[in-house]
Every structure is written in structure tokens, then in C-alpha cells.
């Protein structure tokens, strides 16, 4: 039963505002791809230098997702969501005002601000579902549809904005979008339960500065090494990352208010297996999402615009199937959907082998549509798995960590593709990518089978 003041229209408007906020991270991740040449030209940069706008966003988002989730758990998801949207407005406004260094600063602030949205939105789904009587998986399905659509349309929107007003437009467009999300959540979302005042001392206690610093050093060192940007310092960065990671675990096991409760992760089997599964899942997905366009452009001779159209079934399947997947989770539970994701994802990786035989458009459309089915299932099921498995007071940080594992999977995919497609891109090279993907798919299925057992309904 819905509580007083809640109806389908208010629920829909609230989810729309939350979805708008969560799309900003995906939108800014993908729009920047079409702005690199404009930034390179306007600031007289090399290709290596201009790509830092991507690297800064990746690194900042990886660290900020769980950090902002921790803030949402401590000070209220609604309050922190609104603060994140304020940061997005600031970032959008300052980026066009100075040199490239200010653009990088703005991208970092943008990453932090947009990283608030997803963990805060997932944390708000529970209270929103309780107040309205709605199904949590179905609310998450709407958010998932918005995120997938934003990621798919980001390059198209970015290209149009740059054509009309230059690269500053991809920053300025965030201002009205963030303000709309801010006003919608502030006026519609369920109020946060009473929390303590947001004082500097409270923030420092919640943030666990020592844990955050160790986590950041570990993530930055290992990501820069994985991205191939370390040069001759590769082994030094790997050593620094390993030591920082060990110190992070040591610190969090002893902290009274840990940034990430590693003891809880060790004890919470369902949550740990979900993170592992999503990391492997994301790696496999991004091997296809990043690799297929490169293969089609280099080997198939397709234009960027045509490749974009050929990739659309991937997001289209999410839009079409998300409501059905949500109903299945409601009726049958998470375990069947997690196992089905593993099986269908392995089938989809085998289907990628069609590219070795033919690159006819109709078969590429089949490949991307087939890949879209398990992507929709896995994204929604594992988000709901984290929401269910996390302690009630840690849903935000748990959801933020899930997003961090997505970035880790994406980076792993770029490493695989760098090795497989680093030379001549032809059918044989694509065959190597497919074999690697099948191996990852088998690993994911094994993890899914073990992890799903933690979500089986009692007889």
C-alpha cells in the first residue's frame, strides 16, 4: 500500500529526477569522446595530453563512487544527491573560463559530483519503494534504462552540441540538467531520516581520511599502470599500488568508522561474489563495446556514424527488456536471473565470432542485439543484488563500490584490446578478441553459479 501523498505520478517524477542525475556520469563519460579533437586544436595539445580529460574522469569516478556513497549513508542520500548536483553546476560553469588545466579541474569536479548520483539514487530506492508500495527492481529498471540510453546517445548529443557551440557546450549543458535533477529530488524524494549535523569534524570522521588516501593511492597507481601510462615507472607504480592496497586493508580492518568495511565484505558472501561477478561482467561487456567499433572502422571500413547505428541494438535491448527483467526478479528471485545472465553472456561472446566470417550489417546488428540481452539482465540483477545484500546503513557505499568495479572491468577490457588489436586489425585479430572474450565468459559463468547460490530463495 502506498503511503499518504504518494501515487504513481509522484513516484514516476521522483524516479525521473533521480535518473536524470545518474545519467550525467554516463553522459559525460561518452560525450567527451567527440570533443578530443576540438580540445586538442583549441589548446594546441598532443593526443597524449588531451586524453587526460578522459583519464582524470575515470580515476576520479573510481575513487569518488564509494566515497560519495559513504557520504550518502552518513548524511542522507537526498541531501548528498542535491550537493552533488551543485558540484556539477559549478564544474559546468567554470570549464570554459580558463585554460586546459581548468578544464581538467572541472572534469575532476564533474566526476565527483556525478558520482554522487548513482549510490544516492540506489539508497533512495528503498525508502521510495516503501513509501509508494512500488517494486524496487522496477524502479531500478527505470534508472538502468536512463543510464544505458545516456551512454549510447552521449557521442551523438556531444557531436551536435560541439557542432552548434563548440566544446564548451558539453560542459554548459550539464547546468540545466543538474538543476532539474536537483529541484526534482529536493521537492519530490522522501526526506532523509534524522542525521547528525554536517560539521567539519563529522565529515572527517565519516570520510576516514587515512583509508581514503590509501585507497586513492592504490587505485591511481594501479589504474595508471593498467592504462599503459606509466612508461618506465611501471614496476614502481605497481609496487606503490600493492603496498597502498595492503595498507588500506590493514587500516580498514582496524578503523572504528571505516571508509569501506572490508570486514563486512569478507563476511558478506553475497556482496563479495556480486562485486567479483560484476567486474568480470563489465570486462566482457566493454571488450565488445570498445572493441567492435574499432574492428568495424579499421577492418570493415564503416564510418563512425554507421558504427554508432550498428551499436544501437545493444542499448535498445536494455530499453525493451528492463521491465521484463524486473518482473522476473520480483517473481522468481535473483538467482535464476544471475545464472541466466552468465549463460546468455557466454552465448553472446560466441556470437561475436560471426565477425570473423562476415561483417555484413545485418549480422553486426544481430551480434549487438544478442549482447544487449545479458547486459540488461546483469546490470539490473547485480544492482538489485547489492541493494539487497548490503546492510541498510551501507547501501550507498555498497552501490558506489559496484560502480567502481565497472570502471575496473572497463580498464581491464582496454588492456585486453590493446594486446589483441594493437597491431593490424583484421579478421584474425578479431578472432583473438573473441577467444579472449569466451575465456572471460567462462570465468563469469563460474562466478555467477557460485554467487547466485547466495540469493536462492528458501524452499
* Domains, the chain, with CATH or none: 1-191 (1.20.1250.20), 261-459 (1.20.1250.20)
pLDDT tens for each residue of 261-273: 787 777 888 888 9
pLDDT at 227: 65
Looking at residue 346, what is its pLDDT? 94
Sign, Cα dihedral of 137, 139, 145, 148: negative
Buried b (16+ CB within 10 A) or exposed e, 119-131: bbbbbbbbbbbeb
pLDDT of residue 304: 65
Tallying the residues shown for the chain, one arrives at: 459
Mean pLDDT across the chain, nearest whole number?
84
Q: Distance (Å, rounded) from C-alpha 139 to C-alpha 397?
A: 19
- CA distance linking residue 224 with residue 219, whole number of Å: 8
C-alpha–C-alpha distance, residues 6 and 279, integer Å = 37
Low-confidence ranges of the chain (pLDDT < 70): 1-6, 33-34, 47-48, 152, 194-206, 227-231, 304-305, 422, 457-459
Summarize the chain as % helix, strand, coil (round to 5): 85, 0, 15
Residues in Cβ contact with 114 at an 8 Å cutoff, skipping those fewer than 6 apart:
21, 24, 25, 28, 61, 84, 88
CA distance 43 to 431: 39
Phi, psi at 256, each rounded to 5°: -70, -40
d(CA 234, CA 286): 24
Give the separation between CA 257 and CA 236, rounded to whole angstroms. 31
b/e sequence 162-201, b meaning 16+ C-beta within 10 Å: beeeebbbbbbbbeebbeebbebbeebbbebeeeeeeeee
Instruction: State how far the Cα of 21 lies from the Cα of 113, in Å rounded to an integer.
Output: 10
Whether the Cβ atoms of residue 22 and residue 143 lie closer than 8 Å to each other: yes
Closest residue by Cα to residue 387 from 14, 138, 215: 138
Confidence (pLDDT) at 231: 67
Predicted confidence at residue 204, as pLDDT, reads 67
Give the pLDDT confidence score for residue 459 in this predicted structure.
Answer: 36
- State the number of CA atoms in the 13 A half-sphere of 361 facing the CB: 9
- Report how far residue 25's alpha carbon sits from residue 204's, in angstroms, rounded to the nearest whole number: 26
pLDDT tens, position by position, 54-97: 778 878 888 888 888 888 888 888 888 999 999 999 999 999 99
Is the CB of residue 88 less than 8 Å from the CB of residue 110?
Answer: yes
In this prediction the pTM is: 0.78
360 Cβ contact partners less than 8 Å away, ≥ 6 residues apart: none
- 305's CB contacts (< 8 A; 6+ apart) are none
Q: What is the pLDDT of residue 130?
A: 78
Q: Are 399 and 119 in contact (CB under 8 A)?
A: yes
pLDDT score, position 274:
92
Cell numbers 589483441 correspond to: 420
Distance CA 355, CA 296 (A): 9
**Structure-derived torsion over alpha carbons of residues 153, 157, 163, 169, reported in degrees to the nearest 10:** -140
8 Å CB contact between 221 and 238: yes
Q: What is the pLDDT of residue 264?
A: 76
Amino acid at each position: 500500500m502506498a503511503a499518504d501523498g504518494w501515487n504513481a505520478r509522484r513516484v514516476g517524477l521522483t524516479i525521473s529526477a533521480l535518473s536524470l542525475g545518474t545519467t550525467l556520469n554516463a553522459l559525460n563519460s561518452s560525450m567527451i569522446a567527440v570533443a578530443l579533437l576540438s580540445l586538442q586544436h583549441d589548446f594546441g595539445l598532443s593526443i597524449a595530453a588531451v586524453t587526460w580529460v578522459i583519464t582524470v574522469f575515470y580515476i576520479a569516478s573510481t575513487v569518488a563512487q564509494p566515497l560519495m556513497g559513504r557520504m550518502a549513508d552518513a548524511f542522507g542520500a537526498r541531501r548528498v544527491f542535491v550537493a552533488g548536483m551543485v558540484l556539477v553546476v559549478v564544474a559546468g560553469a567554470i570549464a570554459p573560463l580558463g585554460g586546459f588545466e581548468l578544464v581538467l579541474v572541472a572534469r575532476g569536479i564533474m566526476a565527483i559530483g556525478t558520482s554522487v548520483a548513482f549510490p544516492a539514487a540506489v539508497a533512495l530506492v528503498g525508502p521510495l519503494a516503501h513509501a509508494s508500495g512500488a517494486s524496487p527492481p522496477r524502479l531500478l529498471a527505470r534508472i538502468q534504462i536512463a543510464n544505458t540510453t545516456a551512454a549510447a546517445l552521449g557521442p551523438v548529443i556531444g557531436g551536435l552540441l560541439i557542432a552548434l557551440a563548440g566544446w564548451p557546450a558539453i560542459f554548459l549543458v550539464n547546468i540545466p540538467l543538474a538543476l532539474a535533477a536537483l529541484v526534482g529530488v529536493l521537492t519530490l524524494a522522501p526526506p532523509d531520516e534524522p542525521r547528525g549535523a554536517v560539521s567539519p569534524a563529522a565529515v572527517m570522521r565519516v570520510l576516514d581520511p587515512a583509508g581514503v588516501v590509501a585507497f586513492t593511492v592504490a587505485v591511481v597507481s594501479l589504474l595508471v599502470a593498467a592504462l599503459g601510462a606509466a612508461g618506465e615507472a611501471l614496476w614502481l607504480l605497481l609496487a606503490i599500488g600493492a603496498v597502498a592496497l595492503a595498507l588500506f586493508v590493514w587500516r580498514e580492518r582496524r578503523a572504528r568508522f571505516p571508509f569501506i568495511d572490508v570486514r563486512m565484505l569478507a563476511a558478506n558472501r553475497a556482496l563479495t561474489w556480486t562485486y567479483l561477478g560484476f567486474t568480470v561482467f563489465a570486462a566482457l561487456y566493454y571488450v565488445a563495446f570498445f572493441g567492435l567499433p574499432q574492428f568495424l572502422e579499421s577492418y570493415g571500413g564503416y564510418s563512425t556514424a554507421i558504427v554508432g547505428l550498428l551499436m544501437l541494438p545493444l542499448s535498445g535491448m536494455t530499453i525493451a527488456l528492463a521491465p521484463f527483467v524486473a518482473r522476473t526478479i520480483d517473481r522468481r528471485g535473483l538467482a535464476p536471473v544471475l545464472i541466466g545472465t552468465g549463460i546468455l553472456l557466454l552465448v553472446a561472446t560466441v556470437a561475436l565470432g560471426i565477425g570473423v566470417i562476415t561483417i555484413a550489417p545485418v549480422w553486426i546488428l544481430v551480434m549487438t542485439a544478442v549482447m544487449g540481452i545479458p547486459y540488461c539482465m546483469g546490470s539490473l540483477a547485480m544492482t538489485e543484488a547489492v541493494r539487497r545484500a548490503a546492510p541498510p546503513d551501507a547501501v550507498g557505499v555498497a552501490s558506489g563500490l559496484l560502480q567502481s568495479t565497472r570502471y575496473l572491468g572497463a580498464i581491464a577490457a582496454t588492456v585486453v584490446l590493446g594486446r589483441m588489436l594493437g597491431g593490424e586489425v583484421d579478421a584474425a585479430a578479431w578472432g583473438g578478441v573473441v577467444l579472449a572474450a569466451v575465456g572471460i565468459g567462462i570465468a563469469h559463468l563460474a562466478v555467477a553459479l557460485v554467487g547466485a547460490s547466495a540469493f536462492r530463495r528458501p524452499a
